[in-house]
Amino acid sequence: MPIDLSTLNEPQRQAVERTEGPLLVLAGAGSGKTRVLTYRIAHLVNDLGVAPWEILAITFTNKAAKEMRERVGQLVGPRARGMWVSTFHSMCVRILRADAERLGFTRSFTIYDDADSNRLVKEIMAQLDIDPRRFPIRAIRGRISEAKNELKVPADFSASVVDPVGKVAARVYEVLQQRLRGANALDFDDLLLYGFLLLKHHPEVLEAYRARFRYLMVDEYQDTNHAQYQITRLLAEKHRNIMVVGDDDQSIYSWRGADLRNILDFEHDYPGCAVVKLEQNYRSMGNILKAANAVIANNAERKVKNLFTDQPDGEPIKVYAASDERDEGRWVAGRIEQRHGEGMSYAQMAVFYRTNAQSRMIEDMFLRAGVPYRIVGGTRFFERQEISDVMAYLTLVVNPADDIAAKRVINVPRRGVGKTTVEYLEAQAREQGLTFMEAAEMAQADMTIRAATRSAIGEFLGVVREGATYSGDLRKVVEAIIDKAGLIAALEREGTEEAFGRVENIKEFLGVVDEFADTHTDDDALFEAPTVTASPSGEAAGAVAGAGLSATGDAAGAADVRADAEGEGAPPVRVLRGDSLPDLIEWIRLRTDLDSVSEDGQAVTLMTIHASKGLEFDCVFVVGMEESLFPSMRTMQDPAGVEEERRLAYVAITRARRQLCLTYATQRTLYGQTQVNPVSRFVHEIPDGLRSVTGVGSAGFSGTGWEKRGSRRGIAGSGTEAGGGRVYGRSSAAGSAQRARDAGGAQAGRPATRTQFAVGDAVSHKTFGAGHVTKVEGDAIHVRFSKLGQVKKLLVDYAPIVKV
């Protein structure tokens, strides 16, 4: 059965059916770009007989990739397997794993996360005697990252810089690359840089992928950086069947090297390219779309688009003027409860903010009100100390050359290997050109080191050596390594509350291993590639062989060969078994902040606007609509900076399907400082007729342009004399109910009999699950939640919590 294209409008259908030659789909938010891309893949595979492995689709996040794979799977069935749907980074990892030797790495290379890279750069700066007060590590790392994204290797970069910071960065960059290579490690930017270099300098590798990927598709193309752009160009050269979709109005990652020109110049780069414009928005109600259009119209640097909808106008955009950030959080919580009461699911609601720091207050208010929520980004489980320790051990088992990991845990748990010994080993390694682990091995016979220390080092080496011999069930392997390392035992001996929490986190980590094992069937598609064993069409498959895709000598011996389930003339497919340790490590390393949205459970999503790209929700709240916060202070002096912030506002507004609420606070405490800022210009750019303003601080709102409103006035208009305003704010039923509840009035539904809690009680919370009481403090209790790995302070009467 052919794919049903009748659910697409005319230009969408054209974009799906125009499969040959370059194609640019340039369209506004919610016009179906991602949907078109998905249908196009289904159409190619299902109707045109294109083999899934001939398709490469690039998404912005791993989560988006997963969704796209699922969606295509729904349309075409199991054939979708074998298709490469991934982010640029994941794609580069695959390409690099297959041919790492060509670049002087081994296949089991480690991927350094931000914390690892930071530690390494810090070390190098110390070694080079660079003063971090004069040359902040952030600035140095920023420059190096920029260089990598521009595909400049150290020599190129060094030749191109003239400023003092750049010159220092160039020195660090050079050493950094040597050290990374020595550790058989790549950082995030390296994945793209080396991915590019591999394709660029190894024609047989490039040729194999070019021959293979007959169809390339890239979503969110407006946010590609130079490296991604060049990689795409290289791959698309042969067949030129490249489709990119994007929206210049949604380019929001220029601070990370994204280059809007990539989309604007597409027609120039690919002469003869077809352009499809999509103008109908299917996502949002009329008022929301009009608001978005009105805001973005203030940008000068853009391709003007005309986005319309057939949907009714819907409700006006609600603007709530809060007195402060607590009032703001309370109001949002109340409103959410009201919507929920009306039947909207929590999962269909989201709260966006400009910076992560703003989430804390919202979180606080949600906890009190019992609103279930999840935070995307924010708490980074994998960055916790104990989890990093576990990861370091696992990494060392796979890649003993990883010096950063080795130094991290040689004395974790404490074995009596002190700083002096570590420095001594470091020096030995440097002088003799060894890895840190090799230097540690040598030290076993080094009589200048104390016997006790030598034995401690031996113990550490033993953990790693033995770990490499374990096999079988992945969870058991991980458990055995943690056990052998003595991580849990040491924490248990410590016996403090904090140590107890860390143990729980490590146990939670084992849950992550299970999750990996459970989901690796889904992720299989990520690891499939054609092999040469039975080559149906000599030339193409032979070329693939040249790319080394058929090799099965992975470090953990985890590769096996099996025939593609679908057969149909497709070459057999090589699959890296998902249950191997290297795969687990890679899977964890490639998880980004943007991916941590878990599907399970009904909860409101809290995230930065940056993380919200591509998503949609019935009801969206954007908090902190104040000058200096949004647009952020940093960007306000620079017209280009303000334009990017405005695109961010456009992204935020266009995530909403049915309802949009914007809030601002006349006074806000953030980063420990109290500020008074005027209402964001982006609120004023929404025409009066589309919005309704309520709230404590609303008295000072109308008729006063942001540019005229003095900051002092903002507070006068809200705080003391705004009695009317306050009443106005309370006129929202949910708001007042919420406030009454929060104020702790017995009349607002305080339970008649009060549960008594004592330290040690096991409790269960609606959102956070199981935990135990660690402290009782009047009306409040402190609970450590196992899953969260954190202690939360809760009000006994209001938190949705029961004794179990």
Q: Is 28 annotated as a binding-site member?
A: yes
Tokens of 556: 């953990």
Nearest distance in Å: CB 605, ligand ATP: 15
Which H or E run contains 784? strand 780-785
Which of the following is catalytic: 54, 220, 363, 403? 220
Task: Compute the chain's Rg from CA coordinates.
Answer: 28
Q: Which residue type sits at 641?
A: G
Nearest distance in Å: CB 712, Mg ion: 43
Which of the following is catalytic: 33, 35, 63, 71? 33
In the complex, residue closest to ligand ATP by CB:
32
**Does 548 help bind Mg ion (rule: CB under 5 A)?**
no
Q: Which does 283 bind (CB under 5 to 8 A by kind): ligand ATP, Mg ion, none?
A: ligand ATP
Longest dimension (CA), the chain: 83
Toward ligand ATP, which CB reaches closer, 252 or 683?
Answer: 252
Q: Which does 797 bind (CB under 5 to 8 A by kind): Mg ion, ligand ATP, none?
A: none
Nearest distance in Å: CB 13, ligand ATP: 9
Nearest distance in Å: CB 77, ligand ATP: 20
Nearest distance in Å: CB 670, ligand ATP: 28
**Contact between residue 616 and residue 610 where contact means Cβ atoms under 8 Å apart:** no
Toward ligand ATP, which CB reaches closer, 4 or 383?
Answer: 4
Q: Is 395 tagged catalytic? A: no
**Contact between residue 774 and residue 791 where contact means Cβ atoms under 8 Å apart:** yes
Q: Is 786 annotated as a binding-site member?
A: no
Tokens of 330: 């309370």
Can you tell me the distance from the alpha carbon of 393 to that of 409, in angstroms, rounded to the nearest whole number? 7
The candidate with the shortest Cα–Cα distance to 143, out of 175, 178, 170, is 170
Nearest distance in Å: CB 594, ligand ATP: 14
Toward ligand ATP, which CB reaches closer, 305 or 384?
Answer: 305
**Contact between residue 497 and residue 480 where contact means Cβ atoms under 8 Å apart:** no
**Contact between residue 124 and residue 201 where contact means Cβ atoms under 8 Å apart:** no
Which of the following is catalytic: 34, 228, 666, 667? 34
Q: Residues near 646 by Cβ (< 8 Å), separated by ≥ 6?
A: 295, 296, 298, 299, 631, 682
Q: Is 30 annotated as a binding-site member?
A: yes
**Does 61 help bind Mg ion (rule: CB under 5 A)?**
no
Toward ligand ATP, which CB reaches closer, 607 or 715?
Answer: 607
Can you tell me the distance from the alpha carbon of 338 to that of 320, in angstroms, rounded to the nearest whole number? 15
Can you tell me the distance from the alpha carbon of 443 to that of 449, in angstroms, rounded to the nearest whole number? 7
Q: Is 31 annotated as a binding-site member?
A: yes
Tokens of 122: 């810090």
Q: Is 508 tagged catalytic? A: no
How does DSSP classify residue 633? G
Q: Residue 373: beta bridge partners?
A: 604
Which of the following is catalytic: 54, 174, 190, 219? 219
Nearest distance in Å: CB 682, ligand ATP: 18
Q: Is 29 annotated as a binding-site member?
A: yes
Toward ligand ATP, which CB reaches closer, 60 or 682?
Answer: 60
Toward ligand ATP, which CB reaches closer, 5 or 274?
Answer: 5
Nearest distance in Å: CB 9, ligand ATP: 5
Tokens of 496: 């403090």
Toward Mg ion, which CB reaches closer, 370 or 614?
Answer: 614
Can you tell me the distance from the alpha carbon of 212 to that of 235, in angstroms, rounded to the nearest whole number? 9
Stretch that binds Mg ion, among 33-41, 419-427, 571-579, 691-699 (CB under 5 A): 33-41
Q: How many CB atoms lie within 10 A of CB 128?
A: 12
**Does 34 help bind Mg ion (rule: CB under 5 A)?**
yes
Q: Which does 282 bind (CB under 5 to 8 A by kind): Mg ion, ligand ATP, none?
A: ligand ATP
Can you tell me the distance from the alpha carbon of 131 to that of 601, in angstroms, rounded to the nearest whole number? 48
Q: Is 792 annotated as a binding-site member?
A: no
**Contact between residue 430 and residue 399 where contact means Cβ atoms under 8 Å apart:** no
Distances (CA, A) of 547 to 95, 151, 550, 577: 9, 22, 8, 20
Nearest distance in Å: CB 658, ligand ATP: 12
The candidate with the shortest Cα–Cα distance to 696, out of 670, 665, 675, 668, is 665
Cis peptide before 687 (omega within 30 of 0): no
**Contact between residue 328 and residue 363 where contact means Cβ atoms under 8 Å apart:** no
Toward Mg ion, which CB reaches closer, 614 or 700?
Answer: 614
Q: Which does 247 bind (CB under 5 to 8 A by kind): Mg ion, ligand ATP, none?
A: ligand ATP
Nearest distance in Å: CB 38, ligand ATP: 8
Q: Is 219 tagged catalytic? A: yes
Q: Is 655 tagged catalytic? A: yes
**Does 614 help bind Mg ion (rule: CB under 5 A)?**
yes
Q: Which residues bind ligand ATP (CB under 6 A)?
A: 7-9, 12, 27, 29-35, 247, 250, 282-283, 614, 616, 654
Q: Which does 82 bind (CB under 5 to 8 A by kind): Mg ion, ligand ATP, none?
A: none
The candidate with the shortest Cα–Cα distance to 163, out of 190, 142, 192, 186, is 142
Q: Residue 55: beta bridge partners?
A: 215
**What is the phi/psi pair of residue 276, to 5°?**
-115, 135
Q: Residue 770: beta bridge partners?
A: 764
Distances (CA, A) of 483 to 413, 475, 488, 571: 11, 12, 7, 43
Tokens of 162: 């003239």
The candidate with the shortest Cα–Cα distance to 205, out of 191, 218, 194, is 194
Q: Is 211 annotated as a binding-site member?
A: no
Toward ligand ATP, which CB reaches closer, 441 or 616?
Answer: 616
Q: Which does 659 bind (CB under 5 to 8 A by kind): ligand ATP, Mg ion, none?
A: none
Can you tell me the distance from the alpha carbon of 279 to that of 248, in angstroms, rounded to the nearest whole number? 14
Q: Which does 43 bind (CB under 5 to 8 A by kind): ligand ATP, Mg ion, none?
A: none
Toward ligand ATP, which CB reaches closer, 12 or 110?
Answer: 12
Residue written as tokens 């009589």?
Answer: 447
In the complex, residue closest to Mg ion by CB:
34
**Count residues contacting Mg ion (CB under 5 A)?**
3
Stretch that binds Mg ion, among 29-37, 91-99, 229-237, 466-474 (CB under 5 A): 29-37
Q: Which residue type sits at 100?
A: A
**Does 195 help bind Mg ion (rule: CB under 5 A)?**
no
Can you tell me the distance from the alpha carbon of 658 to that of 401, in angstroms, rounded to the nearest whole number? 53
Can you tell me the distance from the alpha carbon of 362 to that of 351, in angstroms, rounded to the nearest whole number? 9
Q: Which does 195 bind (CB under 5 to 8 A by kind): Mg ion, ligand ATP, none?
A: none
Binding residues: 27-34
Tell me which residues touch Mg ion (CB under 5 A): 33-34, 614
| Catalytically annotated residues | 33-34, 219-220, 250, 655
Binding residues for ATP: 27-34
